[in-house]
Amino acid sequence: MFLLWLRIAAGLYGVASLLAIPAVLGNHPKGHKYCIPVALGAWFFHLVASVEMLVAAHHLIPVMADEIVSTLALAIVAVFLFTFFVYRTVTFGLFALPLAFLLTVVPAIGPERYTFSSPMVRNGWIAFHVVMLLAAYAALLFSMLSSFLYLIQEKRLKGKDWAKAGVLPRPQKRPRGFLTWLPPLATMDQIATSTLRIGFVCMTVGLFAGSLIAQEDVGIGYFADPKVLLSFVMWGLYVVILFIRRSAGLRGRRAAWLTSGVFVLILCVWAANLLGSVHSSAHRFGLK
């Protein structure tokens, strides 16, 4: 019976995650209104499932991998709910709720594991997983390029202002005409932020798709691969970029360096995943 409650909790975590994104990043009123009630309901069902799981296993301390992962997700959401009721902020829901969903979705499938109906469906799901992650990398790259173009345009506009004021000592430092094609600063900053948000959604969906694929072969052992864990860390860094840009109003040079650094790290993780124990064998995913 605990699998039913856990599946309900995983579904509600997914809904709460979708509500947390506009609530935190867009300050959307509906996100604030419904995010916490949905998250609280998910946590309640998750708590019931965890208690029943441990009682059925005849021990009170999580021992098995699925029990540990599920309990970790439960603790993460508990801390998030505590911070909300004490400090009245849903900001940390951007981290906690999607992470709880990703951590509970595989244990919620159960020991029988989900089996794809046909190799064609499985290969299509693999393609979806790859496309989503590549879209996330592309979005992050586009955000990085927008940030650097922001720097170029900012320097150009400052140089133009100095020239008008007559304080440029050297004529060769005057802004050049071929940079006039650059869009306004506000436009590039909006592009950088929007592509980050799109990439975050793509990466979250891609990790979910990868979890569903891997559980068919290795089950909860999917989370035992260090490179998979590192992928979740990189996903967390992606969220950090969004949070810093939103809360601190980060832009310009610092935003460019922050985005570039995380982009390089994510590329390293992507390359490492190709050599990971879960990703190393193409036949494991039905690819020849």
Residues 89 and 166 in one domain: no
Mean pLDDT of 1-10: 90
Mapping DSSP onto H, E and C, the string for 183-241 reads CCHHHHHHHHHHHHHHHHHHHHHHHHHHHHHHHHHHHHHHHHCHHHHHHHHHHHHHHHH
Which pLDDT belongs to residue 200? 84
Q: What residues make up the domain containing 46?
A: 1-112
**Residue finishing a domain among 66, 85, 112:** 112
Confidence label for 83 from pLDDT (cuts 50, 70 and 90)? very high
* 284 pLDDT higher than 50: no
Mean pLDDT of 243-256: 67
* 48 pLDDT higher than 60: yes
Spatial CA neighbour of 236 closest among 277, 265, 268, 257: 265
The total number of structural domains in the chain stands at: 2
Count of CB atoms situated within 10 Å of the CB of 59 = 11
- Using a 10 angstrom Cβ sphere, with 0-12 exposed, 13-18 middle and 19 or more buried, the burial of residue 16 is buried
Please identify which residue in the block is written with the tokens 């992470």. 99
Cβ within 8 Å of residue 145, ≥6 positions away: none
Residues 145 and 170 in one domain: yes
**14-28 pLDDT per residue, tens:** 999 989 888 887 777
Kindly state the helix (H) or strand (E) to which residue 22 belongs, with its residue range.
Answer: helix 2-25
**125-155 pLDDT per residue, tens:** 888 988 998 898 888 888 888 877 877 777 7
Mean pLDDT of 181-191: 75
Mean pLDDT of 22-38: 80
Which pLDDT belongs to residue 180? 64
b/e code 168-205 from CB counts within 10 Å (16+ = b): beeeeeebeeeeeebeebeebbebbbebbbbbbbbbbb
Mean pLDDT of 72-87: 94
Residues 108 and 172 in one domain: no
* 32 pLDDT higher than 50: yes
Confidence label for 1 from pLDDT (cuts 50, 70 and 90)? confident
Under 8 Å between Cβ of 207 and 102: yes
Under 8 Å between Cβ of 154 and 185: yes
Spatial CA neighbour of 113 closest among 28, 255, 217, 250: 217
Residues 206 and 147 in one domain: yes
**Residue finishing a domain among 65, 81, 112:** 112
- Dihedral sign (CA 143, 146, 151, 154): negative
Confidence label for 274 from pLDDT (cuts 50, 70 and 90)? low
**Residue finishing a domain among 112, 136, 154:** 112
Which pLDDT belongs to residue 273? 63
Which pLDDT belongs to residue 76? 95
Residues 153 and 252 in one domain: yes
Which pLDDT belongs to residue 112? 65
Residues 62 and 153 in one domain: no
Residues 242 and 123 in one domain: yes
Residues 123 and 104 in one domain: no
Residues 96 and 130 in one domain: no
Residues 101 and 125 in one domain: no
Q: Give the C-alpha distances (Å, rounded to integers) separating 34 from 41, 99, 220.
A: 11, 19, 31
Question: pTM for this structure?
Answer: 0.69
Residues 167 and 252 in one domain: yes
Which pLDDT belongs to residue 270? 67
Q: Give the C-alpha distances (Å, rounded to integers) separating 55 from 49, 50, 51, 120, 199.
A: 10, 9, 6, 40, 41
Which pLDDT belongs to residue 72? 92
Which pLDDT belongs to residue 146? 81
Q: Which two tokens stand for residue 11?
A: 């579904």
* 122 pLDDT higher than 90: no
Residues 157 and 280 in one domain: yes
Q: Which two tokens stand for residue 222?
A: 């999917």
